[in-house]
Structure 1
């Protein structure tokens, strides 16, 4: 019989393997597989400073746009084009920086990061297969399946 059990990484797997070995199952008849997550998680770490750099870039873009608009309108205002352009640039920078920062700041991760599952495959005689299945359930296996050898 082939018995397959899935576990979350914990010490329970070691206890289950030790108990199964007491039934006479050799380590060569057991296989432990670690399932990788798909798609793989990027190794690039995001630093908190990245959001400030991106916010600064967006702020500068807003400042440039509003400075042009402010300077154009400034020809008709008392302040003149230079002061109205500078004032519009400061307002544009503050607006762009704050909008980007508040929408992209790091929020609490609502998705629970689970560890990859571990699959335990055991080849055993038909007589002791039910007891091995009970051992796996006792040691908190998420799922257990049995199949006859081909």
Structure 2
């Protein structure tokens, strides 16, 4: 018989597997695994180093644009195009970096509302199957199912 039980992550899984082993089921006949990884790798947010690198790149783009505009306006100002271009580049970099950083920074990492379920699959002889089912229920399994093994 193949018995499948689902659990919420807790120490009860360890208790159940050790009690099942006492009934003569070897660990090789049991398989325990998580349903899903949360959050999926593709949905994870950027790490902070990537955010600083991206912020720097955006800041440099803004600095270039502001420097060109500042130098153009500087021909009409007393301080001249070089100083006005440098001043505009500093202002542009600060503006671009801060805008990107504050909109993309990691606020609080939202933890999952509930952890993924843990599945335990046990292959056992037909005589011991009801006992194993009772053990899983005793150790707070959410659901338990039995299926006849077809060889």
TM beyond 0.5: yes
Give the length in aligned residue pairs: 146
The answer to whether the 8 A contact 2:38-2:116 is kept is: no
The answer to whether the 8 A contact 2:12-2:140 is kept is: yes
Moved >6 Å (runs of 4+): 113-116
TM (norm. structure 2) is 0.74
After TM superposition, give the deviation of residue 48 of structure 1 in Å: 3.8
Which has the higher mean CA deviation after the structures are superposed, 72-81 or 115-124?
A: 115-124
Q: Residue 59 in 1 paired to residue 62 in 2?
A: no
TM (norm. structure 1) is 0.75
After TM superposition, give the deviation of residue 59 of structure 1 in Å: 1.2
After TM superposition, give the deviation of residue 38 of structure 1 in Å: 8.6
The answer to whether the 8 A contact 1:63-1:90 is kept is: yes
Question: What residue number does 1:140 align with?
Answer: 140
Task: State how far apart, in whole Å, the 1-side matches of 2:52 and 2:21 are.
Answer: 56
Q: Deviation per CA, 1:5-40: give whole Å up to 9, x if none.
A: 133454322211232234x34216732233473997
The answer to whether the 8 A contact 1:30-1:120 is kept is: no
CA RMSD of aligned residues (A): 3.1
Q: Residue 120 in 1 paired to residue 120 in 2?
A: yes
Task: State how far apart, in whole Å, the 2-side matches of 1:11 and 1:17 are.
Answer: 10
Q: What are the equivalent positions in structure 2 for 1:39-58 lying under 5 Å apart? A: 41=41, 48-58=48-58
Task: State how far apart, in whole Å, the 1-side matches of 2:92 and 2:114 are.
Answer: 42
Question: What residue number does 1:33 align with?
Answer: 32
Question: What residue number does 2:2 align with?
Answer: 2
The answer to whether the 8 A contact 2:5-2:144 is kept is: yes
Task: State how far apart, in whole Å, the 1-side matches of 2:88 and 2:21 are.
Answer: 76
| Structure 2, unpaired ranges of 5+ | none
